[in-house]
A = this chain, B = another copy of it.
Amino acid sequence: LSFQPADPAFEARVRASFARQTIMVTIGATLTRVAPGEVEIRLPWRADLCQQHGFLHAGVVATIADSAAGYAAFSLFAADASVLTSEYKLHLLAPAEGELLIARGRVLKPGRTLTIAETEVYAVKAGSEKLCAKLIGTLVQLAARSDLPRSG
């Protein structure tokens, strides 16, 4: 599938919105690729983001997987629209262990209001990638709604 972005400045718009997600700084996630309908986010393993067995917590996997799907959708939206996750399902397929997680989101079905997107998350261990999670979810395009925080 290849998509035509509605907004030629989609990459700058995605990067600016991602930069406003304070959680990404807190957990050390970075946006490593933006293309029309596709986004990649990377997260190095850290001891303070784990569940009880020393693997990255499913919530951390979910955080980057959801954002990768959300920004994959957002990359195709109109310049003045905002994005919201309505729901997603996450399958945890293997432990989130190793040096690094890579979340690759892509749009499955774009739409005026609803966009369906998928993310595959890979755990990189000793340099080799293994599929560790898969997300499929529904993203909502809020037309003519600023992506900036609501001012106080």
Q: Which residues does A use to contact B, with CB under 8 Å?
A: 17-18, 20-23, 25-27, 47-54, 57-60, 62-64, 66-67, 82, 84-94, 108-109, 113-114, 116, 131, 134, 136, 138, 140, 147-150
Contact = CB atoms under 8 A, between A and B. Distances in A.
A52 B86 CA distance: 15
Q: Is the interface of A mostly helix, strand, loop or mixed?
A: mixed
Contact of A59 (B48, B52, B64, B140): B64
A26 B49 contact: yes
Instruction: Give the number of copies in the complex.
Output: 4
Given A87-B138, A88-B89, A49 B62 contact: no
A48 B23 contact: yes
